[in-house]
Structure 1
Amino acid sequence: MAVPGAVSGGELGRGWPGSSAARIDAEAKARGEHRYPSDYRPDGALWVRPVRAPLVHAEIAEVDVAAARAVPGVVGVFTAADVPGRNGFGLITPDQPVLCDRVVRCAGDMIAVVAAESLRAAQLASRLVSVSARALPLVTDPRLALLPDAPRLHPSGNLCAELLLGHGDVAVGFAEADVVVEYTYRTGHQEHAFLETEAGVAYLAEDGRLTVCAGGQNPFSDREQICAALDLPESAVRVLNPMMGGAFGGKEDISVQIVLALVTHLTGRPARLTLERAESLAFGVKRHPFQVRYRVGATGDGEFTALDAELIADTGAYLTLGPGVLGLAAEHTGGPYAYRHARITGQAVYTNNGNSSAFRGFGNPQVTTGIEQVIEMLADRLGMDPLKLRGRNALRPGQRAAAGFPVRYGVELPGVLDSAGAGGLLAEGAAWKAAAAPWKRRGIGVACAWQGFGLGAGVESGAEVWAQRSAEGGWRITVSCPDLGEGNLTAFAQIAAGALGCEVDRVEVVAGDTDGPDSDASNASRTVFVVGNAVAQACALLRERADHGSATVVHHYRPELPDPHQVGMPHVSYTPSAMVVGVEVDVLTGEVDVPRLEHHLDAGQVINPAGVRGQSEGAIAQGLGFALLEHVEMVDGRVRNDRFASYLIPGVADLPADLRTVLVCTPDRSNPLGVRGVGEIGITPVAAAVGNAIHDAIGRRFDRFPITADAVLAALEAGADG
């Protein structure tokens, strides 16, 4: 079986950093030749089907697999008793069972796995697994889950994580304020909706090693969890993460990897599993729903005196990345602004509502949705220009963020504010709004955002890369962080070409393999920032040594990091943006369209402008879904709308006809390349900007996101709230 991972530049031209280069995977994908994890078909592979728990929360008495094993073509039906090692996995704590043996905590929990010669046999057998279980009370509201008499989902209780951050005395800050604004709201689950669902294969390679090829974001993390579950040394397992059909954080957690490895380990046969779309929608991890309360005060001339915020996040049944999401949300709760005094409290809570985990933005969209609307409310109360109010309070180097840590490099917010102020939408705003059809009302909204890139203090360990001469006389770069579809491998090839003084088509990039160096995960807007700098330095060393005969460089780069305020906080630097949105509200139907949007983004030193704009536009599309469309109907712990017919995501027609990303390129001083991470920032301000624009159009704010057409229509019928 061919090993995935190596991609060469093709006919790209020079494409050095700073100029747009074609994606190195573009031709293969356009021709249908690229092989995604779901495309791999090892000869003789068994069909694998998971058996999910029949109840959302239950105590298991017995699992009877006799009838399932009797189905012709079934090779094995495996339960928790067949897991040879640790029956648990998780990115922080291994608290989620591979196969449940005692307690079921969510609808997606697996209690058995079937392996058969045909899909039909596997499906039939999976329906014949009998489970005797006693239903336990459901816990689906995170606030109720914290009550003393709430059913306990874990021995330690229902509190997953909590924090208290800030500085100064907020009581003093509110006493100093001339204006105080409060805002309470909720955000919901959001589905990743990647083009390729969770998928992979497992097989025994020619060297005897158990090999898992799957859609994942960190092959080394996958391997560690697989080896723990199977009680195998890491030398016995190889993990491959080929370029997949999207992830957005949703493939950081284990999905199919361990059960595939288990089947191959126990049977000696290759195994394959691709989740059906309904399975992915029903059981895949989601964005954390948040309940947020803000209270912010300001002086009459616009200085922010106090911020008091409360965050409650529904992390679902298991820990996953709940503490990290809560921490990053808290870090960004105050926005890129300074306050005289601040207090931020946060709790992540266990419920039976599936699993919440990483999703593009990682908690920041949930809080930015609120703070950027609060700032618009303050500007209205103070009679100030909203951009000037933001600029008045923009964080500068050495000032404390609301969470209490000093900002090392500032946030470069003034540059994107100036760009937004000079943009066409604000300049043309009055005329554009006046031109609305009689049954529509137009509004313009602004929101700013900052997004820490990299894994943050105490977490970011850096990246190792290999650079070497290839056998064909070109150059080879080897990293472990896979390409999720975002184009990081193209950026690496451009960076390498610039350092080596060659054209991009002379560079081959190998990625996503535990047989390579450990570059850590593709997440947290980190790959160009961390791995890109490692590539640049390794290639510079290789160019020097190549003149003296050396053919390989092994290099590790660890970025500058501030002292930890707490684990994962703060980040050394931040990507700033300002978004201006124009909406049209149909007063007859409540539907909201977004015909115009400008994203003013300071990406630092840009490696590939077309790639940056692509990341911006894709993130904006997801942000519009978060703001207006994507509502997971979670009822008693089960997703009811597990089809794209009922779970609506933005299509081409939902995107702004006039969509612009304006690049403001101020090299970042925290790293040698001067780059900033751009994978997440585009999603973060969208919902706030849309909320501000709808308020501008109809004079109404909303306390639930997404803002559905039904909610808008109800608000119109109730009258504006001013």
Structure 2
Amino acid sequence: MIGESTIKWDALPKADGSFLYPSDLLRPEMVHVRVLRAQRPHALILSIDTSLAEQSAGVVCVLTHADISGLNRFGLIAPDQPVFCDSRVRFVGDVVAAVAAETEEQARAALVRIKIIYQDMPALLDPKYALEPGAPQLHDGGNLCHHVDFGFGDIDEAMTQSAVVARVSYATGRQEHAYLEPEAGISFVDEKGRICVICGGQNPFADRVQLARILNLPEDKIWVSHPPMGGAFGGKEDLNVQAYIALVTQKTGRPAKMVYDRTESIAYSVKRHRFDVEVEVGANASGDLTGFRAKLLADTGAYLTLGPGVMVLAAEHASGPYRFMATQITGDVVYTNTGNASAFRGFGNPQAILGIEQAMDDLAAKLDMDPITFRCRNLLKQGDRAGAGHILHSDATLGRLAEQASRSHLLRAPERRAAVSSATGIAFVWQGFGLGSGAERGSSVRLCRENDGRFSLELSQPDLGEGNLAAFMQIAASTLECKLEHIVLHNGSTDHTNSWSTVGSRSIAVTGSAVLKAAEAVRTRVNAGEVGRIEETAFFSPTMDAPLQKGAPHAGYAYGIQLVRVALDEVTGNLSVTEAETYLDPGTVISPKGVEGQIEGGFAQGLGYALSEELALSGGEVQNNRFSNYILPTIRDVPPDIRTILVSTPEPSNPLGARGIAEIGITPVAAAIANGLARLTSQRYAKFPITPEQIIGSGGIE
């Protein structure tokens, strides 16, 4: 059964519309919650008057910072973001008050009756200015959120041995997650007296820790469940609705519901970090890489969120899967008043890989070498030191992928028909999976053979829509040699065995390996003739090197090569992708269709990141907070001819032999497209996404 594409357990109810998502949930006597946001990027709060709102029709309660008995802060790395701002706001989406009412319309009407007097302060909107003297200081420790300094060897000496040097500078934009289901949840008190929260999230245990601090309750008095939801892509790691509905239930004893509307989700939820990147790469006359130097700057917005982790991963991957004589990789994460940035599929790698992959194409051209051959000549092997400074424990398997990719029909010469020119772009990619050294906590699962002969699989990890739960069931059923329908799933809550989070492409490699171990232990006892109920709990966490910084290096990496055929309309500057191929080493494949779905979905997100998606801000406020003006790729933009070619090599870092592939599909897309475009225009572009206006304005079209 491992290696087969099966029907997911939730496919039919999702297809016929009967499946209930968090935003669909209702309970008797439920109140509706809305929050009041600051609507200004930086200000002091002088006074808050909620009296008129409290008198409004249908209002059950109005909450501010004064109503929190616990810690008025939350955050995954450190609790630095206010639940309710009490004295200062740092971005337009900061929450100052919440209203719970009998209907959502009554809650909205009451919000406008809350009177707040602000004293506006200078706003810091440009990350490049954040560390300059005289910049507004957003936190007591200043505007530097985190600093990274990786590398090895004498970089200056290595660069002197270069016959050719490529320099690439660019900025990336803020990308919206655009999940089908926005942030949503419901809260209530259960029969045990616990405050219960059911919502879209990525780690119920992490949510519970933060809620316990806020509510000033022991963790065992709180229950959190993350049922299958309509997408997350990293955007639901941070708290969104959880604290507000839980506080309302704690205050009133009544169930509470909150759902972001789409404009609220786009305007105020966390986003992909904006990066500014400078890269310098050298090679000698023989085609061997010499030195790599990179300087990274990331805008994390008003609060810490996961900014340090994003930069650590970006710096770890910035030099690509290549071997150098010496490297120097520095990165700063800074605070600004531009909103909040946090986890997004790829976790910093899509921003960083643009530098090395554009430079590799430029170096190959200067050396008059085939770009695939040049890359393969410099691939990391077992025992080599990667750019961040750690030793690789197994070969980068891109050579095997390159053998197949080199035979692709996409590797043909540029063509021109009328006013449309086309060419092929190439990008190699590596993507660490799991949470990296010092951050990965491992996963526990419980597997029981019940008295009726069926098997109960229990774990806390949620399914965000990618199908990890179906894969866990396949692993268990295949190992136990039973039918898939004999696996009964219990998952997604703090009552279940802690398998930690659905993040970082860790689900199959880490939690899947724990499922394998538990199933093997149960199978051994069954084969020994043991009767009755059998229960086994298994834990798996990969062996890690000492951290360079928390989160790096990773125990293993997934590898891929992406080829795209781009078409440029020389009249309008419109750039499209007509064909795409991804050559991927996923290790052990649980579901081939599941892998293909991840790669194709990631490609669509990468297409938007490369060509159209960017949040436009003015005065810290998002200007394009609707799908009508935030331009997502549609079915007309994703090429109909898109193929995923799997070339599997077992991954040695886990017993399942699997590589995490949930993120690698998005990471190389922008780089491959940029390289294809450069073959047509002989231009590099300083800003992503690359728009028609940039292409025409660059002079690359004659």
Which TM-score applies when normalising by structure 2? 0.98
* Structure 1 contact 443–695 (Cα < 8 Å) conserved: no
Match of 1:258 in 2: 243
**3-state DSSP of counterpart to 1:594:** strand
* Structure 1 contact 441–698 (Cα < 8 Å) conserved: no
The match for 1:583 among 566, 571, 577 is 566
Matched, 1:627 2:571: no
**Cα deviation per residue 1:189-240 (whole Å; 9 max; x = unaligned)?**
0000000000000001122111000000000000100110000001100000
Q: Aligned letter for 2:94?
A: D
Match of 1:712 in 2: 695
Structure 1 distance, partners of 2:237, 2:396, is: 28
Structure 1 distance, partners of 2:621, 2:191, is: 43
Structure 1 distance, partners of 2:542, 2:513, is: 9
**Cα deviation per residue 1:317-355 (whole Å; 9 max; x = unaligned)?**
000000000000000010000110100010000000100
Structure 2 distance, partners of 1:451, 1:525, is: 9
Matched, 1:671 2:654: yes
Match of 1:689 in 2: 672
- In the TM superposition, structure 1's runs of 4+ consecutive aligned residues that sit over 6 Å from their partners are none
Match of 1:222 in 2: 207
Q: Aligned letter for 2:509?
A: F
The match for 1:453 among 401, 412, 433 is 433
Q: Aligned letter for 1:700?
A: Q
* Structure 2 contact 310–348 (Cα < 8 Å) conserved: yes
Structure 1 distance, partners of 2:395, 2:430, is: 11
Match of 1:157 in 2: 142
The match for 1:477 among 420, 440, 457 is 457
Match of 1:287 in 2: 272
Name the count of aligned residue pairs.
Answer: 699
Match of 1:533 in 2: 513
* Structure 1 contact 411–573 (Cα < 8 Å) conserved: no
Matched, 1:27 2:9: no
Matched, 1:348 2:318: no
Q: Aligned letter for 1:487?
A: G
**Cα deviation per residue 1:365-396 (whole Å; 9 max; x = unaligned)?**
00111110000000000000100111111011
**Cα deviation per residue 1:388-424 (whole Å; 9 max; x = unaligned)?**
1111110111111111111111321211222211222
**3-state DSSP of counterpart to 1:711:** helix
Match of 1:339 in 2: 324
The match for 2:91 among 95, 99, 106 is 106
> 1:545 Cα shift?
2.5
Match of 1:384 in 2: 369
Which deviates the most, 142-151 or 282-291?
A: 142-151
Which TM-score applies when normalising by structure 1? 0.96
**Cα deviation per residue 1:9-58 (whole Å; 9 max; x = unaligned)?**
xxxxxxx1011111211011011111111010111110100110132110
- List aligned pairs for 1:551-700, cutoff 5 A: 551-700=534-683
Match of 1:9 in 2: none
Matched, 1:272 2:257: yes
* Structure 1 contact 465–478 (Cα < 8 Å) conserved: yes
Structure 2 distance, partners of 1:110, 1:563, is: 39
* Structure 2 contact 570–701 (Cα < 8 Å) conserved: no
Structure 2 distance, partners of 1:307, 1:161, is: 22
Aligned alpha-carbon RMSD (Å): 1.0
Q: Aligned letter for 1:79?
A: T
Match of 1:12 in 2: none
The match for 2:685 among 686, 702, 712 is 702
The match for 2:218 among 233, 237, 245 is 233
The match for 2:281 among 296, 318, 323 is 296
> 1:572 Cα shift?
1.2
Match of 2:491 in 1: 511
Q: Aligned letter for 2:422?
A: R
> 1:248 Cα shift?
0.2
* Structure 2 contact 39–93 (Cα < 8 Å) conserved: no
Structure 2 distance, partners of 1:95, 1:565, is: 25
**3-state DSSP of counterpart to 2:674:** helix
* Structure 1 contact 592–709 (Cα < 8 Å) conserved: yes
Which deviates the most, 471-480 or 490-499?
A: 471-480
The match for 1:168 among 128, 149, 153 is 153
The match for 1:398 among 383, 402, 414 is 383
**Cα deviation per residue 1:403-447 (whole Å; 9 max; x = unaligned)?**
111111132121122221122211xx13xx43x430101011000
Structure 2 distance, partners of 1:233, 1:410, is: 47
**3-state DSSP of counterpart to 1:424:** coil
**Cα deviation per residue 1:442-496 (whole Å; 9 max; x = unaligned)?**
0110001100000011111110101012465311111111000000011101000
Q: Aligned letter for 2:300?
A: T
Match of 1:366 in 2: 351
Match of 2:445 in 1: 465
The match for 1:494 among 474, 477, 480 is 474
Percent pairwise identity? 46
**3-state DSSP of counterpart to 1:358:** coil
* Structure 1 contact 410–573 (Cα < 8 Å) conserved: no
**3-state DSSP of counterpart to 1:704:** coil
**3-state DSSP of counterpart to 1:190:** coil
* Structure 1 contact 278–642 (Cα < 8 Å) conserved: yes
The match for 2:62 among 77, 88, 97 is 77
**3-state DSSP of counterpart to 1:161:** strand
Match of 2:3 in 1: 18
Matched, 1:423 2:408: yes
Q: Aligned letter for 2:506?
A: R
**3-state DSSP of counterpart to 1:128:** coil
Which deviates the most, 558-567 or 217-226?
A: 558-567
> 1:555 Cα shift?
1.5
> 1:698 Cα shift?
2.3
Q: Aligned letter for 2:268?
A: F
Structure 1 distance, partners of 2:488, 2:371, is: 48
**3-state DSSP of counterpart to 2:671:** helix
* Structure 1 contact 166–343 (Cα < 8 Å) conserved: yes
The match for 1:544 among 524, 548, 557 is 524
- List aligned pairs for 1:108-257, cutoff 5 A: 108-257=93-242
**3-state DSSP of counterpart to 1:521:** coil
**3-state DSSP of counterpart to 2:207:** helix
Q: Aligned letter for 1:104?
A: V
Structure 2 distance, partners of 1:678, 1:210, is: 36
* Structure 1 contact 483–511 (Cα < 8 Å) conserved: no
Which deviates the most, 189-198 or 547-556?
A: 547-556
The match for 1:89 among 48, 55, 74 is 74
Which deviates the most, 143-152 or 351-360?
A: 143-152
Structure 2 distance, partners of 1:18, 1:407, is: 28
Structure 2 distance, partners of 1:360, 1:54, is: 28
Structure 2 distance, partners of 1:149, 1:471, is: 71
**3-state DSSP of counterpart to 2:150:** strand
1:471 and 1:278, CA in 2 relative to 1: closer, same or farther beyond 3 A? farther
Which deviates the most, 541-550 or 703-712?
A: 541-550
* Structure 1 contact 240–514 (Cα < 8 Å) conserved: yes
> 1:553 Cα shift?
1.2
Match of 2:306 in 1: 321
The match for 1:521 among 471, 496, 501 is 501
* Structure 2 contact 695–701 (Cα < 8 Å) conserved: no
Q: Aligned letter for 2:20?
A: R
Unaligned runs of at least 5 residues, structure 2: none
**3-state DSSP of counterpart to 2:81:** coil
Match of 1:11 in 2: none
Match of 1:4 in 2: none
* Structure 1 contact 198–255 (Cα < 8 Å) conserved: yes
Q: Aligned letter for 1:451?
A: Q
